[in-house]
Amino acid sequence: MSIVTFLLIIVILFLSRHELFHAWDLLTTVKFGYLALLVPIFLLDYYAAGRISFSYIEAKQKGFRLHAWTQMRLSLEMNFVNHVLPSGGVSGLSYMTWRLGQVGVGASRALMSQIVQLVLGLVAFLVLLMLAVLVVTIDGSINRVIILVSSALSTALIATIIVCIYVTMDLRRIRKMSEWLVHTVNFCVRRLTFGKKRKVLDLATTEKFMTDMHRDYLDLRRDSAMLIKPFYWALVFTACEVAIFWVTFLALGIWVNPALILIAYGLALIAGFLVITPGGSGAYEALMVGFLAVAGVSQGAAIAGIVLAR
């Protein structure tokens, strides 16, 4: 996957070679006063990312408190791991489960907090995406391809959330999922190690782990109010992510509709999960640049803005 992505980057660089000169010229005109605004945005971004999961843990585990700087640091650590290790985001998930264990959070609760962060992040993005679809639909200058892409993205996110809830709400389905997971992982390990290592997952341990998660899910259903604060922080986090690109474009002297940036960001997030390169590098930037170019942003300007922000 990494090799394919690397070859894709080479093709994109070749096809965009003329626009790259324009992008380079734009980078020499950066207004550093605007770029300075990114410092507080990044601080709020990482703090909000931590608050999504930590506010959930605080509601579930009485007496659990972490200093604001510690929460930001943990969020930054997870981001660093995801951008260093090629894993489609799984590295950060497993790292944070281990890291939270060091501050007194059980493995199942730590993982559930990460799942809450992921799901609420999708829900918050979906809420903002629907607003973005409304904005681009009202804007007569936006072509129908953009509306189609944004609508398809909304539908895919809704379907993903429904499937996650469907699996989690029933104990029998969770057990079947555990059996499938153990069988699949152990089979892959045997193949990759040529039979030297027979298994890495134990069915009983995995089932207990998944059952604990199911219990947390039932608690969430009984007291869904504990998700209000995490959802609020998920909205703040998503808004900050979009603001980073928007401010960067302003620093280049380019106005880009924030609704378009939000849709491009959603497509790039999917690339980050599906492409195995660290942080989705290559595909992430290519999708954002490609979408913004289709939406009417100069390709050279799109390249300069996305690369500078990243």
Q: Distances in Å between the alpha carbon of 298 and those of 35, 126, 190, 252, 304?
A: 21, 27, 50, 12, 10
| Model pLDDT, residue 142 | 63
149-158, 254-263, 269-278: which range is least confident on average?
A: 269-278
Q: Average pLDDT of 4-22? A: 72
Residue 260 tokens read as 């378009």
Residue 85 tokens read as 């290790």
The pTM for the full model equals 0.75
Note every long-range contact of 36-42, with CB atoms under 8 Å and residues 24 or more positions apart, other chains counting: 37/247, 38/244, 38/247, 38/248, 41/240, 41/243, 41/244, 41/247, 42/240, 42/244
Residue type, 244: I
151 or 1: which leads in pLDDT:
151
pLDDT band at 176 (very low <50, low <70, confident <90, very high): confident
202 φ/ψ angles, rounded to the nearest 5 degrees = -105, 135
Displacement of CA 97 from its chain's centroid (Å): 17
Reply yes or no on whether the pLDDT at 245 is more than 70.
yes
pLDDT digits (tens, 9 = 90+) for 47-100: 898 888 888 888 877 777 888 888 888 888 887 887 776 555 566 777 888 888
CA dist 124 and 51 (Å) reads 14
216 or 191: which leads in pLDDT:
191
230 or 135: which leads in pLDDT:
230
Cβ atoms of 248 and 200 closer than 8 Å: no
Reply yes or no on whether the pLDDT at 127 is more than 60.
yes
Supply the DSSP string of 67-84, one letter for each residue.
Answer: -HHHHHHHHHHHHHHHHH
| Model pLDDT, residue 223 | 75
Contacts for 12 with CB less than 8 Å, ≥ 6 apart: 286
| Model pLDDT, residue 232 | 93
CB-count burial class (<10 Å; 0-12, 13-18, 19+) for 49: buried
